[in-house]
Amino acid sequence: MKALVEAGPDRQRDGVVRWRRIDLQRVIEERFGVVYHERHVSTLLKRLGFSYITARPRHPGQDPAVMEAFKKTSPAS
C-alpha cells in the first residue's frame, strides 16, 4: 500500500489527481478486498509514515510556455 500511495493516483484509471482518504478507501477495497472506514485509512497512513500534506492546485492542462509568455507581456505590479 505504501508504494501505491507514493506513486500517486493515475488520473485516467483512478479519476483523481491526488489521493484523499475516501479515494484510498475505495482502492483498498477494490485491490485488497478489505473494507475500512474512511477515518481508519488515516490511521493506516500514519502507521506507514505519511502525514497530511497537500500541494498547491495546478490545472493538469496548463502550458508552461503560455504562462511564461503571459509573464513577459504583463505589466509589473
Per-residue tens of pLDDT for the chain, all 77 residues? 899 899 989 888 888 888 999 999 999 999 999 999 999 999 999 999 998 877 777 777 888 898 888 888 878 76
Does residue 12 lie in a domain region? yes
Place of cell 483498498: 28
Domain span at residue 14 reads: 2-54
What's the pTM?
0.65
Total number of domains constituting the chain? 1
Contacts of 20 (CB under 8 A, 6+ apart): none
The answer to whether residue 76 is domain-embedded is no
